Structure 1
Amino acid sequence: MFSPLLALTASLASVGRVFATIAVAIVSGWLLAYLSTRSRVFENIFIPAIEILESVPVITFFPVALIFFIENLGGYAGVEAAALFLVFTATAWNIWLGIYQAFKTVPGNMVEAMDNYMLSFSQRMARLYIPYSIPRISSELIPSFTNGLFYITVSEVFSIGSTDYRVFGIGSLIYDLSSSGHYIEALYSLALLAMIVSLIVIGLRRFSEYAIEKYGLETESRIHYARRGVIRGAGLSRLSRAVTPIARISRYVARGGIHLPSIENRARLSAIWKISKYVMVIATFSILIYIAVIKIEGIEPSLWEYLFSRIDRDLASIAIDYARIAIISLAALTMAIFLGYYVATKPGMERIFIPASQVIAAIPAPAYFPLLYGITHRYIEILLGPLSSEFYVLLLGFISTYYYIFYTYWLGVKNMPAQFWDIMDNLSLGFWDRLRMVLLPSTFPYIVAGMTATINGAWGGLAIGEHWPNIYDGRSLEVSQGLMRELALASDRGDLVLLTWLSLLFSISVAIYAILITRRLMDLAGKRYIAEEAVFAA
Structure 2
Amino acid sequence: MEAPHAAPLRGQGTPSRGERSRLADVVIFAGLFVAFWGVSQISTDFAAPFDPESAPAAVSTDPAQLPYYAARSLLRMFVALAFSVVFSFVYATIAARVRRAERIMIPILDVLQSVPVLGFLAVTLPLWIALFPGSVLGLESAAVFAIFTSQVWNMTFAFYQSLISQPRDLDEAARAMRLTRWQRFWKLDAPSGAFPLVWNGMMSFGGGWFFLIASEVFTVGQREYALPGIGSFAAAAAHEERIDLLLLAACVMVLLVIGVNVVFWRPLTAWAERFRLGDTDSADPQTSVVYDLLRRSAIPGALAALTRPLREWLDRSMRILGRTGRRRASSFRPVPRWGRVALVVTAIAALAWGLIAALVFVERGVGLLQFPIAIGLGLVTMLRVFVVLALGTIVWVPIGVWIGLSPRVTRFAQPVVQVLASFPANFLFPVFALALMATGVSLNVGGVLLMALGSQWYILFNVIAGAAAIPIDLRESARSLRLGQALTWRTLYGPAVFGSWVTGALTAAGGAWNASIVAEVVSYGHTTLTATGLGAYIAGATAAGDTGRVLVGVAVMSVLVVATNRLLWRRLYRLAETRYSLA
Gaps (5+ residues) in structure 2? 1-59, 289-323, 326-343
Decide which moves more: 66-75 or 83-92.
Answer: 66-75
Distance 1:308 1:101, change over 3 A: closer
Measured against aligned partners, the alpha-carbon deviations of 1:13-61 in whole angstroms (never above 9, x if no partner) come to 1121111111112223334455456644334444454355446555554
Aligned partner of 1:17 in structure 2 is 76
**How far off is 1:357 after superposition?**
1.8
- Among residues 520, 524, 530, which one is paired with 1:478 in the alignment? 530
1:449 alignment partner AA: T
Gaps (5+ residues) in structure 1? 234-257, 260-279, 533-538
Is 1:89–2:171 an aligned residue pair? no
Decide which moves more: 350-359 or 91-100.
Answer: 91-100
Instruction: Report the Cα distance in structure 2 between the residues aligned to 1:70 and 1:290, rounded to whole angstroms.
Output: 27
Instruction: Report the Cα distance in structure 1 between the residues aligned to 2:373 and 2:194, rounded to whole angstroms.
Output: 48
Aligned partner of 2:321 in structure 1 is none
Is 1:458–2:512 an aligned residue pair? yes
1:297 alignment partner AA: V
Measured against aligned partners, the alpha-carbon deviations of 1:138-172 in whole angstroms (never above 9, x if no partner) come to 33331121112212332211435531133221111
Query: How many residues are treated as equivalent by the alignment?
Result: 465
**How far off is 1:127 after superposition?**
5.8
How does 1:480-519 map onto structure 2 within 5 Å? 481-519=532-570
Report which of the two structures shows the higher radius of gyration computed on alpha carbons. Answer: 2
Measured against aligned partners, the alpha-carbon deviations of 1:379-411 in whole angstroms (never above 9, x if no partner) come to 5x1xxx3x4322331111011111001111122
Instruction: Report the Cα distance in structure 2 between the residues aligned to 1:409 and 1:472, rounded to whole angstroms.
Output: 36
Instruction: Report the Cα distance in structure 2 between the residues aligned to 1:209 and 1:298, rounded to whole angstroms.
Output: 48
Aligned partner of 2:256 in structure 1 is 196
**How far off is 1:330 after superposition?**
0.6
Measured against aligned partners, the alpha-carbon deviations of 1:435-463 in whole angstroms (never above 9, x if no partner) come to 23322222111111111111111122211
The alignment's C-alpha RMSD in Å is 3.5
Whether the 8 Å CA contact 1:178–1:472 is kept in 2: the answer is yes
Measured against aligned partners, the alpha-carbon deviations of 1:170-205 in whole angstroms (never above 9, x if no partner) come to 111111122123332332232122101101112334
TM-score by length of 1: 0.76
Distance 1:425 1:188, change over 3 A: same
How does 1:333-348 map onto structure 2 within 5 Å? 333-348=393-408
Instruction: Report the Cα distance in structure 1 between the residues aligned to 2:551 and 2:353, rounded to whole angstroms.
Output: 11
Is 1:7–2:58 an aligned residue pair? no
Identity of aligned residues (%): 24
Instruction: Report the Cα distance in structure 1 between the residues aligned to 2:103 and 2:237, rounded to whole angstroms.
Output: 49
Instruction: Report the Cα distance in structure 1 between the residues aligned to 2:181 and 2:457, rounded to whole angstroms.
Output: 42
Instruction: Report the Cα distance in structure 1 between the residues aligned to 2:387 and 2:106, rounded to whole angstroms.
Output: 31
Aligned partner of 1:433 in structure 2 is 487
Whether the 8 Å CA contact 1:142–1:204 is kept in 2: the answer is no
- Among residues 403, 409, 414, which one is paired with 2:457 in the alignment? 403
Aligned partner of 2:231 in structure 1 is 171
Aligned partner of 1:349 in structure 2 is 409
1:197 alignment partner AA: V
Is 1:444–2:498 an aligned residue pair? yes
Higher helix proportion:
1
Distance 1:334 1:58, change over 3 A: farther
Distance 1:461 1:48, change over 3 A: closer
SS of residue in 2 equivalent to 1:297: helix
Aligned partner of 1:137 in structure 2 is 197
Instruction: Report the Cα distance in structure 1 between the residues aligned to 2:362 and 2:153, rounded to whole angstroms.
Output: 35
Measured against aligned partners, the alpha-carbon deviations of 1:478-535 in whole angstroms (never above 9, x if no partner) come to 12x2111222222233322122122222222222222211222222222222122xxx
Distance 1:53 1:427, change over 3 A: farther
Measured against aligned partners, the alpha-carbon deviations of 1:324-382 in whole angstroms (never above 9, x if no partner) come to 111111111111122223333444433222211211211111223223443x3465x1x
Aligned partner of 1:148 in structure 2 is 208
Is 1:520–2:574 an aligned residue pair? no
Distance 1:33 1:58, change over 3 A: same
Instruction: Report the Cα distance in structure 2 between the residues aligned to 1:310 and 1:100, rounded to whole angstroms.
Output: 37
Distance 1:310 1:65, change over 3 A: same
Aligned partner of 1:368 in structure 2 is 428
Aligned partner of 1:237 in structure 2 is none
Instruction: Report the Cα distance in structure 2 between the residues aligned to 1:367 and 1:458, rounded to whole angstroms.
Output: 16
2:281 alignment partner AA: I
